[in-house]
Amino acid sequence: MPHVTFIHGMCNKPPAAELLHIWRRALVDGSDPLPLGDLGVTSSFVYWADLLYERPEGDLSACESVLEDSPEAIDAGGGAPPPQARNAEEQAFLEGLRARMTAFSDAELEGAAEVPDVPQGALERVPLPWFIKRAFLNAFLRDVHHYLFNVTFAPPGSTPVPIQTTIRRRFVDALRAPEVTRPHVVVSHSLGTVIAYDCLKRVADCPAVDGLLTLGSPLGLDEIQDRLRPEWSRDRGFPDAVESGWANVYDLLDPVCGIDANLADDYRCDAVERVEDVAVENDGAWRHSATKYLRQPALRQTLRRLLQL
């Protein structure tokens, strides 16, 4: 019996059970539905938003909203503050990643600057108000930073834990759970693609899976790749723990992955390209939404193949 393990990306999220229901429902919306339950496919969720946010997102409709009129609707809920660098290495990482998102200074963003005639950053190409995009920028930088630098952190009322170490253990435990059967495919979105790759490539006791599906992934960014060394290199970047295939689904107007969307040339197996890059066109102004990716027929066809359905 096939099994899918989902893992979400950056920012606050609804409770795990609700989020799993939303993602499974998105797979059956629209043309070429993929009803996992009807096909005998079981599923589970690696949930980690509780480690960074005080309480789950209460507006479930925001995850599927087409209005794009609030931070919650564009992967930016939870009110994450900008991260604070602890040393020069972290400062360089944050500055480099931020520059890919926008050329605007903090002062310009506070002044609600208009999109320039020639956009220089990924967020500048997105036709949404800056107060919404600024919330996303803070969440993106904070969540990526805390994971890749294993920051010890807790939201109010919780006990601080090392973020990367704790999420790694949740991911490995989920893959090792007794209900997991083969073929087994990991479906990851956004920062979840970094977590999935990090575990499958760099964690020694991580179980193998049959397939990996990455959606809206920032794994093409140099700043992130540098944090995956020494295990990662362009010629030997494909994870041994992925036994069958890795498909990477992207939208060129997704600000998280559009800067360097194709991963095949960056994650080769003994210098041979094995990642399948799949281009889609999500609707609306905000192209990074997980549910928009899950509604794509090309994604569903790819997932069917990885699950051997």
* pLDDT for 31: 82
Residue-wise pLDDT for 49-74, tens only, equals 999 999 998 877 767 666 787 888 88
Chain centre to alpha carbon of residue 112: 27
Compute the distance between CA of residue 198 and CA of residue 46 in angstroms, rounded to an integer.
14
Sign of the torsion formed by the C-alpha atoms of 165, 74, 223 and 88? negative
Chain centre to alpha carbon of residue 273: 22
Compute the distance between CA of residue 123 and CA of residue 128 in angstroms, rounded to an integer.
9
* pLDDT for 66: 63
Residue-wise pLDDT for 164-215, tens only, equals 999 999 999 999 999 999 999 999 999 999 999 999 999 999 999 999 999 9
> Looking at residues 107-126, what average pLDDT do you find?
68
- Answer yes or no: is pLDDT of 25 > 60: yes
> Looking at residues 15-37, what average pLDDT do you find?
94
- Answer yes or no: is pLDDT of 131 > 80: yes
**CA Rg, the chain, in Å?**
18
Residue-wise pLDDT for 132-175, tens only, equals 899 999 999 999 999 999 999 999 999 999 999 999 999 999 99
* pLDDT for 91: 97
> Looking at residues 274-295, what average pLDDT do you find?
95
* pLDDT for 119: 57
Mean confidence (pLDDT) of the chain: 92
Do 134 and 107 contact (CB within 8 A), yes or no?
no
Sheet holding 242-250, edge to edge: 42-46, 3-7, 184-189, 209-215, 242-250, 275-279
**Residue 279 tokens, joined:** 């281009």
Do 212 and 242 contact (CB within 8 A), yes or no?
yes
* pLDDT for 254: 96
* pLDDT for 30: 81
Do 300 and 309 contact (CB within 8 A), yes or no?
no
Compute the distance between CA of residue 283 and CA of residue 297 in angstroms, rounded to an integer.
13
* pLDDT for 117: 54
* pLDDT for 127: 87
Domain spanning 3-55+159-306: CATH superfamily: Alpha/Beta hydrolase fold, catalytic domain (3.40.50.1820)
Amino acid at 116: P
What residues does 189 pair with on adjacent strands? Answer: 215
Q: How many CA atoms lie within 13 A of 176 on its CB side?
A: 11
Continuous segment of H or E residues that includes residue 214: strand 209-215
Q: What are phi and psi of 201, to 5 degrees?
A: -100, -35
* pLDDT for 111: 63
- Answer yes or no: is pLDDT of 113 > 60: no
* pLDDT for 112: 54
* pLDDT for 284: 92
* pLDDT for 57: 87
What's the angle, vertex CA 89, arms to CA 86 and CA 93, rounded to 5? Answer: 100
Residue-wise pLDDT for 82-112, tens only, equals 899 999 999 999 999 999 999 887 777 766 5
Domain ranges in the chain are 3-55+159-306, 71-151
Beta carbons within 8 Å of 66's beta carbon, 6+ residues apart: 283, 284
Compute the distance between CA of residue 301 and CA of residue 220 in angstroms, rounded to an integer.
23
* pLDDT for 70: 85
